[in-house]
Amino acid sequence: MTIRGVTLRNRIVLSPMLTYAAEAGYVNDWHLVHLGKFALGGCGLVFMESTKVDPGGLTTPRDCGIWKDDFIPGLQRITRFLKQHGAVAGIQLGHSGRKARNSVPWQGRSQLPSPFPDVEDGTDWELVAPSPLPAGPGLEVPRELTIAEIHEMISGWGAAARRAHEAGFDVLEVHGAHGYLIHQFLSPTANQRTDAYGGSLENRMRFAIEVVTEVRRHWPEDKPLFFRVSAVDEDGGTLEETIALSRALRELGVDVIDCSTGGMPRRGERTMPTSGYGYQVPYAEEIRHAADIATMAVGLIIHADQAEAILNEGRADLIAIGRELLHNPNWTFDAADKLGVEQPYNSAPEAYGYWMEKRRGGDVDFLAGLSTRPSTWQAGIDAGGGV
């Protein structure tokens, strides 16, 4: 698939997934190995996890950062490796707003005190949001952003896009979902402003639109721009509003809508599905047709034939996979084999593909040898040595 000036070798995408392994915003060997294995495993597009445009927007102290040029060399090391092995390198940019400053999931996601010593030399880690409303019961009330601060933050997104380009990424995604800052502005309950950034849908969309405009201004014209949405959420966010947003984003140069759901604290009755194979695919399908824009489907897409059907039926243009790729980093090659692709391992590194092909067809010479002579370990067992 070719989008603007970038061609993907296939339509399988590693979904951006937080791994909470950065150190004061800096990537390290973990990120190189973690992301590199998905390039080796055949993915067409490999997304760096949500990387924060401002230190105050970190979900946890272990999030990756891109708010200063010092981060660029570490990111370049990753993009070089991904490209060397045939994958397109993508990055998701985010800001957590009122959902910032938490411990990592396996430590309970509890809200941390401020200042916190591991972020920008222990400077104050203040929670900010469109309105002074907490992310949930008993949580800290964030400070409402001023108009000047909103404009400064928008500039920060643009600067982050420039750094992403300099770091060697060829696809950029703006994170506008899952209850984080842009989603907070879009929400009629999280956003209670009475100025140009609150009230009507047009006003609530303004922050997202101005962020995308600034990002596109700093992001090369020949590089694709994605935008992740929560197509619906627990607090009344509707598909109709998301379609309106997607149409507006298309006109601003967004190429693909990444269709997720949820993330806004529940106030009313839950009206959205939260489980089942491909449970978010219907939203990708509806947005694709109603907004006339390419979409990426995500959410419990597990099997090769399931993914292939989504594409063949015109329900989405790209398949984003998360947990299943964590389980099997070579999912792409496995899918090609199961779908009957001739020479499914021909794009694998030689050190992998040679042996994968033998595993697939059976090494006739090796198997014949086993039938005529015992292996070393079998001989040891026969001699009474045990295993």
Tell me what pLDDT residue 124 has. 80
Would you list the DSSP string of 71-105?
A: GHHHHHHHHHHHHHTTPEEEEEEE--GGG-SB--G
387: pLDDT confidence band, cut at 50, 70 and 90? very low
Tell me what pLDDT residue 235 has. 86
Tell me what pLDDT residue 367 has. 53
Selection from 111, 167, 100 nearest residue 138 by Cα? 111
358: pLDDT confidence band, cut at 50, 70 and 90? confident
Q: Which helix (H) or strand (E) holds 258?
A: strand 256-260
Question: In the predicted model, is pLDDT for residue 277 greater than 60?
Answer: yes
Residue whose structure tokens are 């990055």: 91
22 vs 366, more confident: 22
Reply yes or no: is the peptide bond before residue 115 cis, omega within 30 of 0. Answer: yes
* pLDDT digit string, tens, across residues 25-66: 999 999 999 999 999 999 999 999 999 999 999 999 999 999
* pLDDT mean over 248-275: 82
Which structural domains are found in the chain, ordered by start?
2-346 (3.20.20.70), 349-387 (no CATH)
State which amino acid sits at residue 139: L
281 vs 384, more confident: 281
Question: In the predicted model, is pLDDT for residue 267 greater than 60?
Answer: no
Q: Collect all residues with Cβ–Cβ distance below 8 Å to 290 and sequence separation of at least 6.
A: 243, 246
* pLDDT digit string, tens, across residues 140-169: 999 999 999 999 999 999 999 999 999 999
Question: In the predicted model, is pLDDT for residue 245 greater than 70?
Answer: yes
Tell me what pLDDT residue 115 has. 73
* pLDDT mean over 166-181: 98
Tell me what pLDDT residue 371 has. 52
- Residues annotated as catalytic are 180
Q: Is 14 in a helix, a strand, or coil?
A: strand
Question: In the predicted model, is pLDDT for residue 254 greater than 80?
Answer: yes
Selection from 105, 95, 289 nearest residue 211 by Cα? 95
Show the tokens assigned to 116: 């916190």
Question: In the predicted model, is pLDDT for residue 365 greater than 70?
Answer: no
Tell me what pLDDT residue 113 has. 84
Widest pairwise Cα distance in the chain: 85
Tell me what pLDDT residue 368 has. 56
Question: In the predicted model, is pLDDT for residue 370 greater than 70?
Answer: no
* pLDDT mean over 361-386: 53
Selection from 4, 94, 95 nearest residue 294 by Cα? 4
Q: Identify the sign of the CA torsion 225, 302, 46, 15.
A: positive
Would you list the DSSP string of 26-81?
A: B--HHHHHHHHHHHHTT-SEEEEEEEESSGGG-SSTTSEE-SSGGGHHHHHHHHHH
SS (H, E, C) 172-227: EEEEECCCCHHHHHHCCCCCCCCCCCCCCHHHHCHHHHHHHHHHHHHCCCCCCEEE
- Please tell me what DSSP assigns to residue 237: -
* pLDDT mean over 221-229: 98
* pLDDT mean over 275-301: 95
